[in-house]
Amino acid sequence: MALPDQFFEEMRHLYLFEPLDDTALRQMMSHAKLLELSAEDVLFAQCDVSRNFHIVHSGMIKLFRISADGTEKILELIAANQVLGEDAMFVGEHSAYATALEPTQIISIDCSYLTTLLSKNTKLCLRMMTLMSLRSQKLIEEIGSITLQSAFQRVTQYLIGKKGVIGDIADPIRLNLPKQVIASRLGVRPETLSRIITRLRNEGMIDCARDIVVLKNMTALQQVANGMIGLKL
């Protein structure tokens, strides 16, 4: 469906499109559409020709690749107001799969129009380059984490990051993603994630019930995350 007018203010406040004046933004919106995805719907597949640049309006998109043995590796989780498909816009095809984790709305902009707009607007082009650089930097950091840190470090860093504060007493946090999604994102098997959670609970660092986790000893968790305490399964 065509992009409704009520999306104008939201688009206006997106970092990428701030350099556009109202006329240019409305013109760009005329080349955009709103996609409604259900959970597990495919937005694009690896090697698909890139025709659109995407912005997640609501919901969440899973960006992943599949190994030769069928194992799924999640590369990134794209949440509301984040973009995807910008790399494929310049190389011609997508390098990964993208599916909805939950009911998701996508603002989809025609690539041909957007690349023409980028060629005419230096500030817009620089902002696109900034977004691509930040994503590249994030992926490099995550590769470093997987290759240089233990599974215990990655899991504890994830839990601390979900909490977002430092202290000895933490309020409960909700792990609102399926266990297999979290495990893939952290580069571990689902059964390994379960064993790590159990070990952290047995060590008195956390308590958990279903998808609710209480960080009971933030100091010890930080020491595990930093490699100062080495735990093994």
What domains appear along the chain, each with residue ranges and CATH number?
5-146 (2.60.120.10), 149-225 (1.10.10.10)
For range 206-228, the mean pLDDT: 90
Please give the pLDDT value at position 186: 92
For range 104-125, the mean pLDDT: 94
**Residues in contact with 162: Cβ distance below 8 Å, sequence separation at least 6, in sequence order:** 173, 175, 213
Query: Taking all residues of the chain, what is their mean pLDDT, rounded to a whole number?
Result: 91
Backbone phi and psi for residue 59, each to the nearest 5 degrees, phi listed first:
90, -155
Position 144 pLDDT exceeds 90: no
Please give the pLDDT value at position 164: 65
8 A C-beta contact, residue 142 and residue 57: no
User: Which one-letter DSSP state was computed for residue 2?
Assistant: B
Q: Could you report how far apart the first and last alpha carbons of the chain are, in Å?
A: 51
Which of 35, 51, 44 has its CA nearest to residue 104?
Answer: 35
Position 139 pLDDT exceeds 70: yes
Please give the pLDDT value at position 169: 53
pLDDT tier for residue 167 given thresholds of 50, 70 and 90: very low
Position 2 pLDDT exceeds 80: no
SS3 label, residue 229: coil
Position 61 pLDDT exceeds 80: yes
8 A C-beta contact, residue 66 and residue 90: no
